[in-house]
Chains A and B, each alone.
Chain A
Amino acid sequence: KQEVTQIPAALSVPEGENLVLNCSFTDSAIYNLQWFRQDPGKGLTSLLLIQSSQREQTSGRLNASLDKSSGRSTLYIAASQPGDSATYLCALPLNQAGTALIFGKGTTLSVSS
């Protein structure tokens, strides 16, 4: 059974700092890995989706890497801004038969100005 762990649970940084969020998973037979962002009391927004054959994906100041052999993914945020404050979740497919996801519990990021 796939388990997803995110460390740390919370992180506070000053504006402008570069930071890394971590996600680990127990079963390396994955099809893809996604990073989502959730603002308080709101739904989720997809940030990056990495296919199992890829090593990384980039979007603006965000870079996500995937290492299936070690069961790890990282989300790198460059030059953090107060608007980046949110909870970041990583998610893996439950199986290939559908689109259901298993989520980590997230890292809550606070960026102070």
Chain B
Amino acid sequence: KAGVTQTPRYLIKTRGQQVTLSCSPISGHRSVSWYQQTPGQGLQFLFEYFSETQRNKGNFPGRFSGRQFSNSRSEMNVSTLELGDSALYLCASSLAVIASTDTQYFGPGTRLTVL
């Protein structure tokens, strides 16, 4: 069974641009979450989708948005990029519907560098 895939793996953008990252979950998983990882803040939750609906949202500005498609694939978008958006963006999928059951499976991440 294929794991979680994320594209692209690496991105270099300049301040003010926008970027779209893609995540394909494990087949059959309908829950997809996104996280931002930086050396200073560690892993921070961005948002979570289940069956095309956003269920939870982390404490990030409105420049960060996401969506999920009917095939469970998800995208996140960051508009008006800032230097501080440089990070590893991780996507995770789960077979679980709620917190108390299955674990989450993480993709390899997209490394975004903002110049």
A interface list, Cβ under 8 A from B: 31-32, 34, 36, 41-46, 49, 51-52, 89, 91, 93-106
Contacts and interface: CB of A to CB of B under 8 A. Distances in A.
Contacts of A41: 88, 109, 111
Interface in B23-56: 31, 33, 35, 42-45, 48, 50, 55-56
B98 A96 contact: yes
Nearest to A32: B100
7 contacts: A41-B109, A42-B109, A45-B106, A98-B98, A99-B33, A105-B43, A106-B42
Contacts of A100: 33, 45, 48, 55-56, 58
A43 B107 contact: yes
B100 A51 contact: yes
A97 B99 CA distance: 7
Nearest to A102: B45
Interface of B: 4, 31, 33, 35, 42-45, 48, 50, 55-56, 58, 88, 90, 92, 94, 96-100, 103-109, 111
A104 B58 CA distance: 15
Contact of B98 (A34, A97, A103): A97
A27 to B, nearest CB: 13
A93 B33 CA distance: 12
Contact of B99 (A32, A46, A103): A32
B107 A99 contact: no
Contacts of B88: 41
Given A51-B100, A93-B99, A103-B43, A98 B107 contact: no
Contact of A96 (B31, B94, B100): B100
Contacts of B90: 43-44
A51 B88 CA distance: 29
Nearest to A51: B100
Given A98-B50, A100-B56, A89 B104 contact: no
Contacts of A32: 99-100
